[in-house]
A = this chain, B = another copy of it.
Amino acid sequence: MARVKRLERIVALTKELTDKPFQLFPFSYFCDKFTVAKSTLSEDVQTVRNGLAAYDLGIIETVAGASGGVRFIPYHTAKSDNQFLGELCERLNSPDRVLPGGMIYMNDLILNPQIVSRLGEIIMQRSIELKPQYIMTVETKGIPLGLSAAKAFNIPMVMARKEARITEGPAVSISYLSGSTKKIQSMSLPKKALPHGARVLVIDDFMRAGGTANGLCELAEEVGAEVVGVYLFIAAKDPAKKLVREYASLLTLRGVDETSKAVDIVPEML
Protein backbone atom coordinates (compact mmCIF):
# COMPACT_ATOMS: atom_id res chain seq x y z
CA MET A 1 0.00 0.00 0.00
CA ALA A 2 2.77 2.42 0.91
CA ARG A 3 4.45 1.62 -2.39
CA VAL A 4 1.33 2.34 -4.41
CA LYS A 5 0.98 5.61 -2.58
CA ARG A 6 4.52 6.55 -3.42
CA LEU A 7 3.89 5.97 -7.13
CA GLU A 8 0.75 8.08 -7.10
CA ARG A 9 2.58 10.80 -5.24
CA ILE A 10 5.33 10.83 -7.87
CA VAL A 11 2.72 11.24 -10.60
CA ALA A 12 1.02 14.13 -8.81
CA LEU A 13 4.34 15.78 -7.98
CA THR A 14 5.45 15.56 -11.61
CA LYS A 15 2.21 17.04 -12.90
CA GLU A 16 2.06 19.92 -10.43
CA LEU A 17 5.68 20.93 -10.88
CA THR A 18 5.73 20.71 -14.68
CA ASP A 19 2.40 22.53 -15.03
CA LYS A 20 3.88 25.69 -13.53
CA PRO A 21 7.39 26.26 -14.82
CA PHE A 22 9.64 28.35 -12.56
CA GLN A 23 7.08 28.48 -9.78
CA LEU A 24 8.93 27.86 -6.53
CA PHE A 25 6.80 25.51 -4.41
CA PRO A 26 7.79 25.51 -0.72
CA PHE A 27 8.63 21.99 0.45
CA SER A 28 5.93 22.40 3.07
CA TYR A 29 3.30 22.74 0.32
CA PHE A 30 3.94 19.19 -0.88
CA CYS A 31 4.65 17.78 2.60
CA ASP A 32 1.21 18.97 3.68
CA LYS A 33 -0.50 17.89 0.48
CA PHE A 34 0.94 14.38 0.57
CA THR A 35 1.28 14.17 4.39
CA VAL A 36 4.89 13.04 4.17
CA ALA A 37 8.06 14.06 5.98
CA LYS A 38 10.55 16.34 4.28
CA SER A 39 13.05 13.50 3.88
CA THR A 40 10.49 11.44 1.99
CA LEU A 41 9.59 14.38 -0.22
CA SER A 42 13.27 14.94 -0.98
CA GLU A 43 13.52 11.38 -2.27
CA ASP A 44 10.43 11.92 -4.41
CA VAL A 45 11.83 15.14 -5.82
CA GLN A 46 15.04 13.31 -6.69
CA THR A 47 13.00 10.67 -8.51
CA VAL A 48 11.17 13.30 -10.55
CA ARG A 49 14.49 14.96 -11.36
CA ASN A 50 15.98 11.67 -12.56
CA GLY A 51 12.93 10.73 -14.60
CA LEU A 52 12.79 14.05 -16.42
CA ALA A 53 16.55 14.12 -17.00
CA ALA A 54 16.60 10.56 -18.34
CA TYR A 55 14.20 11.45 -21.13
CA ASP A 56 15.22 15.05 -21.91
CA LEU A 57 12.02 16.46 -20.44
CA GLY A 58 13.30 19.27 -18.23
CA ILE A 59 15.12 20.20 -15.04
CA ILE A 60 14.13 20.10 -11.37
CA GLU A 61 15.84 22.72 -9.26
CA THR A 62 15.82 22.82 -5.48
CA VAL A 63 16.48 25.99 -3.54
CA ALA A 64 17.72 25.59 0.03
CA GLY A 65 16.84 27.77 2.99
CA ALA A 66 13.73 29.07 4.72
CA SER A 67 12.33 30.65 1.57
CA GLY A 68 13.44 27.70 -0.52
CA GLY A 69 11.55 25.01 -2.33
CA VAL A 70 11.43 23.11 -5.58
CA ARG A 71 10.66 24.15 -9.13
CA PHE A 72 10.55 22.86 -12.66
CA ILE A 73 12.42 24.48 -15.54
CA PRO A 74 11.55 23.41 -19.09
CA TYR A 75 14.65 22.20 -20.86
CA HIS A 76 15.39 20.41 -24.10
CA THR A 77 18.81 19.55 -25.47
CA ALA A 78 20.23 21.94 -28.07
CA LYS A 79 20.14 19.06 -30.54
CA SER A 80 16.44 18.47 -30.01
CA ASP A 81 15.65 22.20 -30.30
CA ASN A 82 17.73 22.50 -33.47
CA GLN A 83 15.89 19.58 -34.98
CA PHE A 84 12.51 21.05 -34.07
CA LEU A 85 13.41 24.39 -35.66
CA GLY A 86 14.86 22.67 -38.72
CA GLU A 87 11.64 20.76 -39.32
CA LEU A 88 9.65 23.95 -38.91
CA CYS A 89 11.81 25.61 -41.59
CA GLU A 90 11.09 22.76 -43.97
CA ARG A 91 7.39 23.47 -43.57
CA LEU A 92 7.88 27.24 -43.91
CA ASN A 93 9.96 26.83 -47.07
CA SER A 94 7.06 25.20 -48.92
CA PRO A 95 6.31 27.12 -52.17
CA ASP A 96 2.55 27.22 -51.49
CA ARG A 97 3.18 29.58 -48.56
CA VAL A 98 4.43 32.43 -50.75
CA LEU A 99 1.95 35.28 -50.97
CA PRO A 100 1.94 38.36 -53.20
CA GLY A 101 4.59 40.84 -52.09
CA GLY A 102 6.91 38.03 -51.01
CA MET A 103 5.09 37.53 -47.72
CA ILE A 104 4.88 34.06 -46.21
CA TYR A 105 1.74 32.49 -44.79
CA MET A 106 2.50 31.14 -41.33
CA ASN A 107 -0.69 31.56 -39.29
CA ASP A 108 -1.30 27.81 -39.19
CA LEU A 109 2.06 27.35 -37.45
CA ILE A 110 2.10 30.26 -35.00
CA LEU A 111 -1.50 29.55 -33.97
CA ASN A 112 -0.85 25.84 -33.38
CA PRO A 113 -0.72 25.46 -29.59
CA GLN A 114 1.83 22.62 -29.51
CA ILE A 115 4.21 24.36 -31.91
CA VAL A 116 3.97 27.76 -30.26
CA SER A 117 4.40 26.25 -26.77
CA ARG A 118 7.66 24.67 -27.83
CA LEU A 119 8.84 27.90 -29.49
CA GLY A 120 8.12 29.76 -26.25
CA GLU A 121 10.19 27.22 -24.32
CA ILE A 122 13.10 27.55 -26.74
CA ILE A 123 13.07 31.34 -26.42
CA MET A 124 12.99 30.96 -22.64
CA GLN A 125 15.88 28.54 -22.65
CA ARG A 126 17.98 30.69 -24.96
CA SER A 127 17.39 33.91 -23.05
CA ILE A 128 17.17 32.62 -19.49
CA GLU A 129 20.24 34.58 -18.38
CA LEU A 130 18.42 37.84 -19.20
CA LYS A 131 16.14 37.21 -16.20
CA PRO A 132 13.10 39.04 -17.59
CA GLN A 133 10.18 39.87 -15.29
CA TYR A 134 7.74 40.66 -18.11
CA ILE A 135 7.20 39.64 -21.71
CA MET A 136 6.10 42.52 -23.93
CA THR A 137 4.60 42.19 -27.39
CA VAL A 138 2.40 44.15 -29.76
CA GLU A 139 -0.87 43.07 -31.31
CA THR A 140 -1.57 40.86 -33.16
CA LYS A 141 0.61 38.05 -34.37
CA GLY A 142 3.20 38.31 -31.61
CA ILE A 143 0.62 37.45 -28.96
CA PRO A 144 0.61 33.62 -29.17
CA LEU A 145 4.41 33.42 -29.08
CA GLY A 146 4.64 36.05 -26.35
CA LEU A 147 2.13 34.20 -24.21
CA SER A 148 3.98 30.90 -24.68
CA ALA A 149 7.27 32.47 -23.64
CA ALA A 150 5.52 34.07 -20.66
CA LYS A 151 4.17 30.66 -19.69
CA ALA A 152 7.62 29.06 -19.98
CA PHE A 153 9.14 31.78 -17.77
CA ASN A 154 6.04 31.93 -15.53
CA ILE A 155 5.93 35.72 -15.83
CA PRO A 156 3.13 38.04 -16.99
CA MET A 157 2.81 39.40 -20.50
CA VAL A 158 1.95 42.96 -21.44
CA MET A 159 0.63 43.96 -24.82
CA ALA A 160 1.01 47.19 -26.75
CA ARG A 161 -1.88 48.25 -28.96
CA LYS A 162 -1.78 49.97 -32.33
CA GLU A 163 -4.10 52.58 -30.83
CA ALA A 164 -5.07 53.40 -27.24
CA ARG A 165 -8.28 51.70 -26.05
CA ILE A 166 -10.70 52.98 -23.48
CA THR A 167 -10.90 49.49 -22.01
CA GLU A 168 -7.30 49.71 -20.94
CA GLY A 169 -7.27 53.00 -19.07
CA PRO A 170 -4.64 55.75 -19.18
CA ALA A 171 -1.99 54.87 -21.72
CA VAL A 172 1.41 56.05 -22.89
CA SER A 173 1.71 56.40 -26.66
CA ILE A 174 4.62 56.81 -29.03
CA SER A 175 4.94 57.37 -32.75
CA TYR A 176 7.48 55.42 -34.74
CA LEU A 177 8.62 55.01 -38.30
CA SER A 178 7.99 51.55 -39.69
CA GLY A 179 11.40 50.49 -40.96
CA SER A 180 10.24 48.87 -44.18
CA THR A 181 7.15 50.85 -45.19
CA LYS A 182 8.48 54.21 -43.94
CA LYS A 183 5.04 55.03 -42.59
CA ILE A 184 4.50 56.85 -39.32
CA GLN A 185 2.66 54.56 -36.95
CA SER A 186 1.73 54.73 -33.30
CA MET A 187 1.39 52.30 -30.48
CA SER A 188 0.38 52.56 -26.87
CA LEU A 189 0.66 50.70 -23.60
CA PRO A 190 -1.60 51.01 -20.53
CA LYS A 191 0.25 53.00 -17.86
CA LYS A 192 -0.38 50.42 -15.20
CA ALA A 193 0.89 47.51 -17.31
CA LEU A 194 4.57 47.74 -16.35
CA PRO A 195 6.02 48.77 -12.99
CA HIS A 196 8.97 51.16 -12.95
CA GLY A 197 12.29 49.38 -13.42
CA ALA A 198 10.75 46.09 -14.60
CA ARG A 199 13.03 43.89 -16.72
CA VAL A 200 11.27 43.36 -20.05
CA LEU A 201 11.88 40.88 -22.86
CA VAL A 202 10.34 42.11 -26.13
CA ILE A 203 8.92 39.40 -28.40
CA ASP A 204 7.39 39.60 -31.87
CA ASP A 205 6.67 37.23 -34.73
CA PHE A 206 8.63 38.90 -37.52
CA MET A 207 11.19 41.66 -38.00
CA ARG A 208 12.46 43.19 -41.18
CA ALA A 209 14.08 46.58 -40.48
CA GLY A 210 13.16 46.59 -36.80
CA GLY A 211 10.91 49.67 -36.67
CA THR A 212 8.22 47.94 -34.65
CA ALA A 213 10.68 46.23 -32.31
CA ASN A 214 12.44 49.53 -31.75
CA GLY A 215 9.08 51.19 -31.08
CA LEU A 216 8.31 48.55 -28.45
CA CYS A 217 11.65 49.25 -26.77
CA GLU A 218 10.99 52.99 -26.74
CA LEU A 219 7.52 52.44 -25.33
CA ALA A 220 8.86 50.22 -22.54
CA GLU A 221 11.51 52.77 -21.65
CA GLU A 222 8.92 55.55 -21.79
CA VAL A 223 7.08 53.92 -18.87
CA GLY A 224 10.35 53.45 -16.97
CA ALA A 225 10.96 49.77 -17.70
CA GLU A 226 14.27 48.25 -18.76
CA VAL A 227 14.44 46.27 -22.01
CA VAL A 228 16.76 43.31 -21.43
CA GLY A 229 16.36 41.73 -24.85
CA VAL A 230 14.47 41.48 -28.15
CA TYR A 231 13.51 38.04 -29.47
CA LEU A 232 11.83 37.32 -32.80
CA PHE A 233 10.34 34.19 -34.27
CA ILE A 234 11.72 35.14 -37.70
CA ALA A 235 14.15 37.95 -38.53
CA ALA A 236 14.89 38.89 -42.14
CA LYS A 237 18.57 38.91 -43.10
CA ASP A 238 18.05 42.12 -45.09
CA PRO A 239 18.41 44.94 -44.36
CA ALA A 240 21.55 44.02 -42.43
CA LYS A 241 21.35 47.26 -40.47
CA LYS A 242 18.40 47.07 -38.07
CA LEU A 243 16.80 49.81 -36.04
CA VAL A 244 17.32 47.81 -32.83
CA ARG A 245 20.82 47.54 -31.42
CA GLU A 246 20.63 43.93 -30.35
CA TYR A 247 18.23 41.11 -31.05
CA ALA A 248 18.02 37.37 -31.49
CA SER A 249 15.68 35.22 -33.53
CA LEU A 250 14.74 31.55 -33.73
CA LEU A 251 14.75 31.58 -37.54
CA THR A 252 16.31 33.77 -40.23
CA LEU A 253 14.66 34.62 -43.54
CA ARG A 254 17.51 34.73 -46.03
CA GLY A 255 15.34 35.34 -49.05
CA VAL A 256 12.09 34.75 -50.87
CA ASP A 257 11.54 34.78 -54.62
CA GLU A 258 8.00 35.59 -55.54
CA THR A 259 8.33 34.30 -59.09
CA SER A 260 9.88 30.92 -58.41
CA LYS A 261 8.14 30.67 -55.01
CA ALA A 262 11.46 29.77 -53.43
CA VAL A 263 11.66 30.53 -49.71
CA ASP A 264 14.90 30.31 -47.76
CA ILE A 265 14.33 30.26 -44.02
CA VAL A 266 16.97 28.67 -41.81
CA PRO A 267 17.06 27.85 -38.09
CA GLU A 268 19.39 29.59 -35.69
CA MET A 269 21.30 26.59 -34.36
CA LEU A 270 22.83 26.46 -30.91
Give the complex CA separation of A262 and B44 in angstroms: 48
Closest chain B residue, CB of each to CB of A159 = B111
* A51 CB contact (under 8 Å) in B9, B55, B116, B192: B9
Kindly list chain B residues whose C-beta atoms are within 8 Å of the C-beta of A192: 105, 108
Chain A interface residue count, Cβ-Cβ cutoff 8 angstroms:
59
Is the pair B12, A111 in contact by a Cβ cutoff of 8 Å? no
Binary per-residue interface labels of chain A (93-134) against chain B in the complex, 1 for a CB within 8 Å, 0 otherwise: 000000111011101100111101100000000000000000
Kindly list chain B residues whose C-beta atoms are within 8 Å of the C-beta of A144: 143, 147, 157
Number of this chain's copies in the complex: 2
Is the pair A12, B51 in contact by a Cβ cutoff of 8 Å? yes
User: Known interface pairs A108-B156, A147-B144. Does A166 touch B99 (Cβ–Cβ under 8 Å)?
Assistant: yes
A243 at the interface (CB under 8 A from B): no
Closest chain B residue, CB of each to CB of A168 = B107
Output the least CB separation between A164 and chain B (Å): 12
Closest chain B residue, CB of each to CB of A104 = B167
Kindly list chain B residues whose C-beta atoms are within 8 Å of the C-beta of A16: 55, 57
A40 at the interface (CB under 8 A from B): no
Q: Which of A154, A156, A190 has the most CB of B within 10 A?
A: A156
A158 at the interface (CB under 8 A from B): yes
What is the interface of chain A mostly: helix, strand, loop, or mixed? helix
Kindly list chain B residues whose C-beta atoms are within 8 Å of the C-beta of A18: 14-15, 18-19
Kindly list chain B residues whose C-beta atoms are within 8 Å of the C-beta of A140: 139-140, 143, 159, 161
Is the pair B166, A11 in contact by a Cβ cutoff of 8 Å? no
Give the complex CA separation of A190 and B168 in angstroms: 28
User: Known interface pairs A52-B15, A107-B158. Does A113 touch B190 (Cβ–Cβ under 8 Å)?
Assistant: no
A54 at the interface (CB under 8 A from B): yes
A151 at the interface (CB under 8 A from B): yes
Is the pair A150, B51 in contact by a Cβ cutoff of 8 Å? no
A219 at the interface (CB under 8 A from B): no
